[in-house]
Amino acid sequence: MGEIKILGILGCERQGSYSRFALHAARELLPHGTALELIDLNGIPFFDRRRALSPPPAVVEFRRRVLDSDAILFATPECIHSVPGKLKSAIDWASSPAGESPWLDKPTAVMSASDGRLIKARAQHHLKEVMATLKMQTVDHPGMTDCDAGRHFSDEGKLHHESARCFIQELLAALVSLVKVNRAATGYIVRKAA
Q: What's the CATH code of the domain at 178?
A: 3.40.50.360
Gap between the Cα atoms of 111 and 108, Å rounded: 10
Whole-model pTM: value is: 0.88
Digit-coded pLDDT (tens) for 96-114: 887 889 999 999 999 887 7
By the 8 A CB rule, do 84 and 127 touch? no
Query: Could you tell me the residue range of the domain that residue 127 belongs to?
Result: 4-193
By the 8 A CB rule, do 62 and 93 touch? yes
Name 172's Cβ contacts closer than 8 Å, sequence gap at least 6. 6, 26, 29, 30, 31, 34, 73, 109
End-to-end Cα separation, the chain, in angstroms: 19
Gap between the Cα atoms of 1 and 39, Å rounded: 25
Digit-coded pLDDT (tens) for 153-171: 777 778 877 888 888 999 9
Domain tally for the chain?
Answer: 1
